[in-house]
Amino acid sequence: MDSELKEILKGIKGNRDFYPEDYAEYKVIFDAMHNISKQFGYELYEGPILEYAKLIEYKSGQNLATETYRLLDREKRKLVLRPEMTPSLARLIVNQHQRYPKPIRWYCLPRVFRDETPQRGRVKEHFQLNADIIGVNHPAADAEIIALTTSIIKTAGLKDEEFVCVINSRELLQSYLEFLDIKKKEEVIRIIDAKGKYVQNAIEADLIKKGFKSSESKVLAQQFRTIWQQDPRKEKNYPDIESKSDLAQYLDKLMIIEEKEVKAALESIGLSPEQTSKVYDFTLIKGIPQDVIVALKSLEVGDRVKLAIENMEELLTYLESFDVIKNCEFDMSIARGLDYYTGVVYEFLDRTGSVARAIAGGGRYDQLVESFGGGKIPATGIGIGETVLHSILKKLNRFPSYKHPAEIYVAAISEDVMPAAAKIARDLRKDFSVVFNPFGWKLSRQLEDAGNRNIPNMIIIGKRDLDEDKVTLRDMKSGEQITVLISKLKEELDAKIS
RNA sequence: GCCCCGAUAGUAUAGCGGCUAGUAUUGUGGAUUGUGGCUCCAUAGAGGCAGGUUCGAAUCUUGCUCGGGGCACCA
């Protein structure tokens, strides 16, 4: 084979092929997304895969811009393959929102592209459900998006205890930092966001000191951090580290290590010891929403912070009404999207230990539309990628085994009954999924064919039966056969296929 | 962008310096003209790409490509 062609046939890195068996798995997720969005009364829209590069550059950060697929059209205009849907949605809204009564509830299942290195739960091209409520800044809108997402994740196959929605408020975080008179808010948020990493780095450094190889230390420290974060303070299944060294000691010390490292980082950017300690204590507040609200209320804070706390409390009441409170936690250390979001932010995390990445993430972005010149239009929304969810469900073995779509295989025994067989197939297709074999194959071969494809029922059409206006209906699994009048065929099949 | 592991027919694999590349399964055609999934026969199909070492490379080596995992980054 031509060598160049051979390379080409491998396909483009990080871009996927979906063979029917593969697609069937993704379809479970897609169906959940479409069905639940519809259940919630969201309207389907779509946009172009190509956008002007400037549309993305306007709002998304530099990093996103560099990892976007870029191309030029004939006029040498800079275009991109859309890396996310929100800019396109904002464009649609800016252009024509006056046509639509508010709030707008729209959803979309676009294929989006990012030219970045693939790893678990991340490829260069994926489907990402976007659901947004535009035109109200009511906390119930955020709660509804969370309820919608919860429902999609559960319908796709995860159980309540296998995922969690962690919620924070950028408003609250920022106003608290302001209350503490901290200027470098962005840097503080960045440090808080990377808390786990400080622990990991400390463990890694210590392992190297104890004589572990650098690459080994990295892996062990990573495992340790992951388990610890998913299951803090509980003693379970820590990796082999214990047998390899006296690392079991870390179990008790992780909280202390984290505190020490994070505080050092905070002080290194100029916070006073008092500020540092208040910020750190604040980030420790997390858990079930009711408890967090109580903890927040006991803090000594200013009016703006109080207002933000009240907003969180209001959100809580809607989460209760929508019956998703059991799936939610408040966590003051979640930062997300440094400059994009304006209010509540949330992300859905895996609790089964399968994938460290977020299943979905979203938040309130009240200024995005305005920044495109569209007037003050508040909005909140979520993006749910299909890859992380698929990867978790796959690991948990939740996908049903592949089934051929056809329920019925219509076999003609000889060429002379072909027209009659074709008519029967045509009629049956009004109610069923039907494979018709018009190729003049011998019956034995058609039986084998239907068997190979696991099609459960076969209708055998031959001259003998046909002379009496009958056909043979065979159950492929049991091998049982009956002859039925053509006029009774649908009735008979309805009973078998429910 | 960086680091680790990997790559042999569609799939799963064997060989690890002597290849005419083996096996299983799948595909195609047939044995079997109204009853399959068994069996038998025939047939098709492979060392990711490019270079180096060597008398000789699937095997050793370098770069690239693709796949898996991680870092950084990010939704």
In which residue are the tokens 């809108």 written? A141
pLDDT band at A217 (very low <50, low <70, confident <90, very high): low
Question: Which of these, A429, A389, A394, lies nearest to A409 by C-alpha position?
Answer: A429
User: How does DSSP classify residue A119?
Assistant: B
Nucleotide nearest to A120 (CA to C1'): B69
Compute the average pLDDT of residues A79-89: 91
Q: What distance in Å separates the CA atoms of residue A327 and residue A161, rounded to the nearest whole number?
A: 8
Of residues 144 to 183 in chain A, which lie within 7 A of strand B by their beta carbon?
none
Say how far A57 CA is from B2 C1', in Å.
Answer: 26
∠A398-A401-A404 over CA atoms, to 5°? 140
Q: Using 50, 70 and 90 to split pLDDT, how confident is the model at A261?
A: confident
Name residues 317-356 of chain A with a Cβ under 7 Å from nucleic strand B: 336-338, 340, 347, 356
Nucleotide nearest to A453 (CA to C1'): B37
Query: pLDDT tier at A352 (50, 70, 90 boundaries)?
Result: confident
Q: Strand B: which positions are within 7 A of a protein CB?
A: 1-4, 27, 30, 32-37, 46-50, 65-75
- Closest-lying nucleotide for A11 based on CA to C1': B66
% pLDDT > 70, chain A: 87
Cα–Cα dist A441/A179, whole Å = 81
d(CA A137, CA A364): 8
Q: How far is the CA of A86 from the C1' of B20 (A)?
A: 61
Q: Tell me which of A236 and A338 has the higher pLDDT.
A: A338
DSSP state of A270: T
Q: What DSSP line would sit under A9-46, residue for residue?
A: TT--TT-----HHHHHHHHHHHHHHHHHHHHTTPEE--
Q: Which residue is it, tokens 């200027």?
A: A183
pLDDT in tens, A89-100: 999 999 998 899
| Distance, CA of A64 to C1' of B2, in Å | 19
Interatomic distance A450 CA / B36 C1' (Å): 8
DSSP 8-state assignment for residue A105: E
Is the C-beta of residue A222 closer than 7 Å to nucleic acid chain B?
yes
Which secondary structure element, helix H or strand E, spans residue A330, and what is its range? strand A328-331
In chain A, which residues from 88 to 117 place their CB closer than 7 Å to nucleic acid strand B? 116-117
Burial class of residue A457 in the structure, from the number of CB atoms within 10 Å of its CB (0-12 exposed, 13-18 middle, 19+ buried): buried
Report d(CA A365, CA A379) in Å as an integer: 5
Q: Are the CB atoms for A44 and A138 separated by under 8 Å?
A: no
The answer to whether the bond into A103 is cis (omega within 30° of 0) is: yes
H or E element that contains A129? strand A125-134
| Integer Cα distance of A414 and A367 in angstroms | 70
Range in A102-111, A157-166, A326-335 with the lowest mean pLDDT = A326-335
Q: Report the alpha-carbon distance of residue A457 to residue A463 in Å, rounded.
A: 20
- Residue A346: CB atoms within 10 Å: 30
For residue A236, pLDDT beyond 60: no
Per-residue pLDDT at A185: 76
The CA-based dihedral angle spanning residues A429, A434, A440, A443, taken in that order and rounded to the nearest 10 degrees? -130
Q: Integer distance in angstroms from CA A5 to C1' B59?
A: 25
Between A174 and A196, the higher pLDDT residue: A174
Reported as a single tens digit per residue, the pLDDT across A37-73 is 999 999 999 999 999 988 887 766 556 667 888 888 8
pLDDT more than 90, % of chain A: 39
Give me A444's structure tokens: 């034995």
Whether A265 sits with its Cβ under 7 A from any strand B atom: the answer reads: no
- At A477 the pLDDT is 82
Q: Are A380 and A132 in contact (CB under 8 A)?
A: yes
pLDDT-based confidence at residue A243 (cuts at 50, 70, 90): very low
Residues 369-428 of A with CB under 7 A from strand B: 383, 385, 391, 413-414
Query: Using CA atoms, how far apart are residues A344 and A233, in angstroms rounded to an integer?
Result: 28
For residue A190, give every residue at least 6 positions away whose Cβ sits within 8 Å of its Cβ, in sequence order, or none.
A335, A338
- Whole-number Å distance between alpha carbons of A429 and A376: 52
Structure tokens at A53: 């590069």
**Using the CA of A200, which nucleotide's C1' is the nearest one?**
B71
**What value, to the nearest 5°, has the Cα angle with vertex A112 and ends A108 and A116?**
155
Distance of A488 CA from B32 C1′ (whole Å): 33
pLDDT at residue A241, as a whole number: 45
Q: How far is the CA of A373 from the C1' of B67 (A)?
A: 45
Higher pLDDT, A386 or A269: A386
Sort strands A328-331 and A286-287 into parallel, antiparallel or unpaired.
antiparallel
Residue A5 CA distance to nucleotide B56 C1' (Å): 29
At residue A222 the predicted structure's pLDDT band, cuts being 50, 70 and 90, is low
Between A223 and A240, the more confident residue is A223
Cα(A407)–Cα(A457) distance, integer angstroms? 6
Instruction: Evaluate whether A77 touches A188 at the Cβ level (below 8 Å).
Output: no
Task: Using the CA of A417, give the nucleotide whose C1' is nearest.
Answer: B34
Average pLDDT for A154-172: 91
A375: Cβ contacts below 8 Å, ≥ 6 apart? A369
Cα dist from A186 to A192, A199, A266, A274, whole Å: 10, 21, 12, 19
Distance A452 CA to B25 C1' (A): 14
Separation of A153 CA and B25 C1' (Å): 37
* Mean pLDDT, all residues of chain A: 84
- Name the nt closest to A196 by C-alpha to C1': B71
Distance between CA A409 and CA A434 in Å, rounded?
Answer: 6
How many residues in total does chain A contain? Answer: 498
Q: Mean of the pLDDT values across residues A145-174?
A: 93
Q: Is the CB of A273 under 7 A from strand B?
A: no
- Nearest-Å Rg of the Cα atoms of chain A is 29
Cβ contact A135 with chain B strand, < 7 A: no
The mean pLDDT value for A393-402 works out to 86
Q: What are the b/e assignments for A132-157, b being 16+ CB within 10 Å?
A: bbbbbbbbbbbbbbbbbbbbbbbbbb
Can you give the pLDDT at residue A173?
86
What is the Cα–Cα distance from A442 to A285, expressed in whole angstroms? 72
Tell me the CA–C1' distance in angstroms for A321 and B54.
77
Q: Point out the nucleotide closest to A340 (alpha carbon to C1′).
A: B75
Is a pLDDT exceeding 90 seen at residue A238?
Answer: no
Per-residue pLDDT at A77 exceeds 70: yes
Structure confidence at residue A178 (pLDDT): 87
State the pLDDT at residue A471: 93
| Residue A440: pLDDT over 90 | no
Q: Summarize the confidence of residues A326-336 as an average pLDDT.
A: 85
Please report which confidence band the pLDDT of residue A197 belongs to, taking 50, 70 and 90 as the band edges: confident
Question: Bigger pLDDT: A215 or A343?
Answer: A343
Using alpha carbons, select from A169, A142, A165, A141 the residue that is nearest to residue A296. A169
Residues 33-92 of A with CB under 7 A from strand B: 60-61, 63-64, 84, 86
Alpha-carbon distance of A432 to A122, in angstroms, equals 38
Spanning CA of A206 to C1' of B56, the rounded length in angstroms is 51
Location of structure tokens 């800016």: A94
